[in-house]
Amino acid sequence: MELLIKTIRQLIPLSEEDQLLISQLFHRKELRQKQYLLREGAVCRSVFFIEKGLVRYYVNHDGEEKTTYFNKEGEFVCDYLSFLPGSPSMIHIQALEDSVIWAIDRQSLQRFYKEVQQGERFGRLVIEQVYLQAIQQVGSFYRDPPETRYLNFLHSYPELSQRIAQYYIASYVGVKPQSLSRIRRRITGSH
């Protein structure tokens, strides 16, 4: 809960009353490695915050898993395309490590927006960040060669390259694992 409060505080001030309300609105959840936070076809009914651990977002495309995103400690997790309209998800969100997560459902989130002094401002700022990341990622996928996408991954997630299996990173970059190995060798200059 401490990291959640600290993360919210980075965007808005919180009174003692705000913190108390937040501790009542969010509920702790533990996930084992490989366990799902969300499966394709289910409706995403909560926004999650990672206190400890790591998750990946992926889609099934012609029987192949395509990793689209990662979230780590101190970040919010949600399939907003499912959560906001209440429609079935087209993605999976899976824990890559044992994880501790805080969940807030739609009704509690509405209370957060209404009752936390700058709750609505917080919601707007978080969604703006999500939007910018999504636009940058899509743009990079169409504009940049795989090597640049891999370098962008290393820049965005410098501490995660040792925590994420290389085949998930390759999938995220949009190449096969063998191609990622060649890219990594070129970058490090080893043969």
> Which tokens sit at 168?
């998930």
**Other CB atoms closer than 10 Å to residue 23's CB: what's the count?**
12
7: confidence class by pLDDT, cuts 50, 70, 90: very high
Q: Give per-residue pLDDT as tens, 22-54.
A: 999 999 999 999 999 999 999 999 999 999 999
Do 91 and 138 form a contact (C-beta atoms < 8 A)? no
- 63 or 190, higher pLDDT: 63
Q: Give per-residue pLDDT as tens, 78-101.
A: 999 999 999 999 999 999 999 999
Q: Where do the structural domains in the chain lie, given as residue ranges?
A: 2-119
Task: Provide CATH code, domain 2-119.
Answer: 2.60.120.10
pLDDT value of residue 190 = 58
pLDDT value of residue 102 = 98
What's the average model confidence in pLDDT over 61-71? 91
Please report where in the chains the tokens 């366990």 appear, as a residue. Answer: 35
pLDDT value of residue 138 = 86
Does 191 score more than 50 pLDDT?
no
Q: Give per-residue pLDDT as tens, 107-141.
A: 999 999 999 999 999 999 999 998 998 898 888 88
Q: Give per-residue pLDDT as tens, 135-146.
A: 988 888 889 999
75: confidence class by pLDDT, cuts 50, 70, 90: very high
What's the average model confidence in pLDDT over 175-179? 91
